[in-house]
Structure formats: structure tokens, C-alpha cells
Amino acid sequence: MPLIHILDDQTANQIAAGEVVERPVNAVKELVENSIDAGSRSIEVEIAEGGLAYIRISDDGCGMEKEDLSLSVERHATSKISTADNIYHIASLGFRGEALASIASVSRMKITARIQGSETAQWISVEGSHITDRGETGAPQGTTVEIRDLFYNVPARKKFLKSERTESGRINTMLGKLAMANPGIAFRLINNGRTVIETPGNGRLLDVLSALYGIDTAGEMLPVSGEEVQMDGFISKPSLLKSSRQYQTFIVNRRVVDNPLISKAMDNAYHSLLPKNGYPVAVLHLRVPPETIDVNVHPQKREIKFSDEQEIFRAVYHSVLRTLTTQSEPEEVAASMIRVPGHDEGNSMGTFLSGKAGDPVLP
């Protein structure tokens, strides 16, 4: 009797879900990115009990046809690419066709969608990868995905989750970063019936920062622009510090990424202006040719690879340093540093004011 056998679809989907949907925030991220790819101008997210009991994502995007609605929950079904070569020219956030199938395999899901010009919306119910019901209803243009009882059929997964407050906080942070990456989209997050995030969607990143972090923080931000690489965003004055990198958001071609390379360039640019236990607030959006990055290196698409890391490192370093040295008055920065606990005034301002810092080299 052969020992090797092919896994059934549901088992394969649940294994894939273990990589794509590790916790509720991953499900929300994948679905919101689908809404962004659909051309939405408004996206509303509602969660209950940290996303385990209920998640709803509603958008005003292009919606789906009846046939596409059924195909959307199949593995590797996508409208984003058609060949492997397309991955290296990808402009959308999603492309693998795994998200909906993975989420549907570990939840009870309902999808309602209506395209422009259609008199009614179509809906399907999915449980454990299987479509259990379908029909027509009245709904506005766009797509609404509702998820109930996440991980109901994989109870072991719940043991590795944190408290409801922690899981909700992860969703809050993630959605805020997506809002900064897409200031032209109005985002709203409702947590247990209370609105906790609401951005205007007017295209102004500074207004998004104000909505997320408050007017005082937004007023302490300095605009950044790139010369070597197309780049824009904001960085905080050295006097505005946080205890972790949570308030640093790096975006590449509208994709929020975790990138040690950009973080290191930021650190080097601020150099000795910062104490050892502080991190500046930053939102940097880089725009590079799609063929110069590889986005297919992480199951959750959080990481990317640059074809020329030195170029990106130097571009971020010089853009941030240029902003600090030209838009901050030296006397103001010096005064701010004196007020920052743990800051060593010994040689920091000498280096900063001299402007003699050389080109950085990657370790």
C-alpha cells in the first residue's frame, strides 16, 4: 500500500491558511487589500471580540460578477495575474489567489457583491471551503465580506492567540498603516460597536496622520522627498520619539512592508540625534519600477527584496538626512535634544551641524 497520497482540498486549504491567516489581523489585511485592488474609495471594517467572533469588510469597489463570486473562494483563483512572469511586474497588492480560499477554510463566510449597472447583488455562503448557499439581494455597488467564528474548525490555532485587546490592537495598527499607504481612500474601523479609526480619504497624508496620531503629532512632522529614488512622506523632529518602531511605516508601491534595510537607513540618518531608547515617527512611501523588487518572498507579503539594496539604502539615508538638516533649525534641534532623557550631547550636534557624515555602507 503506497504511503504517499494527495491531500484533499479542505486539508490543503487549512494548511495554506496556517501560513496566510495566522491570526485575525492577517484575514483583515488580505481582505482590505482586495478592496484596495478593487478601486475602492471607501472601506469600512468592523470587528468583534478581536476578530475571532466577527469580521466585516465593506467597500464601494468594482464588485464581482456571479461567476467570479463562486470562483473567488477557489484556491489560486485570481484576476491579478495569468502567468508566473506577471509577478515581476505586479502593480496590485494581491496576486496569489490564496486569501479568500484560506480564510473560507477556517471560518463561516458570506460574500455579497454587486457590480456597476446590475440591479441586484449576488451572495454566497461558505463554510469550511464549501459553498453552502447562494442567492440575490439588494446592496450597494461593491463587495462585503463577513467572517464569523474564525478558526472554529482548528481550535488549536486559538491557543496561540493573545487577548482580545491585543488582537484588536494589531488590527488597529495594520489598518492605520494601510490608511497611510492609501490617503485617497476613506477608512473606518469599528471595534465592538465603537469607531476607533476614521480617515478622510482626501488624498492628504498629513490629514491621515492627524486622524491616527492626533494634531499635535502631525504638527511635529517634517515632509520628506526623494531625489535618487521617487519618495515622499513625513518624519518627526528628533524631539518626537516613541518607545518602539510601531510608529514607523514603510511603503513600497502602495505595499506596507517590514524592511530592516529602510529602518537601518533611518537610524543612520538620525545618527546620534537620538537616545538609545527612542525611535522617530516616520511614514515613507517609495515608488520604484515593479521589476526591481520581488514581492513573492513571504507568505503574508510583508517582506520584499530590492534588486539594488545599496541604491535604496543611500536614497532613504540622504532624503531623511537632507530633511533634518534643511528643514530643522539647528538651534531648535539642539534645544530639543537637551530635553530628551538619555541623550548624550557630547558629539552629536557636532556631527549634525558639520554636515560631514559620509555615505553609509550596508553592514
Among 80-94, 103-117, 180-194, 346-360, name the one with the lowest average pLDDT: 346-360
**CA–CA gap between residue 284 and residue 225 (Å, rounded):** 9
**CA–CA gap between residue 277 and residue 342 (Å, rounded):** 8
Question: Is the pLDDT assigned to residue 174 strictly greater than 70?
Answer: yes
Question: Is the pLDDT assigned to residue 247 strictly greater than 90?
Answer: yes
The pLDDT, as a whole number, for residue 334 is 45
Question: What type of residue is 8?
Answer: D
Question: How does pLDDT run across 346-359, given as a tens digit for each residue?
Answer: 333 332 223 333 44
Fold of 9-198: Heat Shock Protein 90 (3.30.565)
Nearest CA to 91 among 237, 287, 314?
Answer: 287
The pLDDT, as a whole number, for residue 262 is 95
Question: How does pLDDT run across 290-322, given as a tens digit for each residue?
Answer: 888 887 665 555 778 888 999 999 999 999 999
Name beta bridge partners: 287.
230
The pLDDT, as a whole number, for residue 356 is 36
3-state SS of the chain is CCCCCCCCHHHHHHHHHHHHCCCHHHHHHHHHHHHHHCCCCEEEEEEEHHHCCEEEEEECCCCCCHHHHHHCCCCCCCCCCCCHHHHHHCCCCCCCCCHHHHHHHCCEEEEEEECCCCCCEEEEEEECCEEEEEEEECCCCEEEEEEECCCCCCHHHHCCCCCHHHHHHHHHHHHHHHHHHCCCCEEEEEECCEEEEECCCCCCHHHHHHHHHCHHHHCCEEEEECCCCEEEEEEECCCCEECCHHHEEEEECCEEECCHHHHHHHHHHHHHHCCCCCEECEEEEEECCHHHEECCCCCCCCCCEECCHHHHHHHHHHHHHHHHHHHCCHHHHHHHHHCCCCCCCCCHHHHHHHCCCCCCCCC
The pLDDT, as a whole number, for residue 98 is 78
Question: Is the pLDDT assigned to residue 248 strictly greater than 60?
Answer: yes
**CA–CA gap between residue 15 and residue 204 (Å, rounded):** 40
Contact, 324 vs 222, CB < 8 A?
yes
Is there a common fold for 9-198 and 220-354?
A: no
Residues 238-256, mean pLDDT to the nearest whole number: 93
What pTM does this model have? Answer: 0.83
What average pLDDT does the chain have? 84
Which top CATH class is 220-354?
alpha beta
The pLDDT, as a whole number, for residue 271 is 82
Domain ranges of the chain: 9-198, 220-354
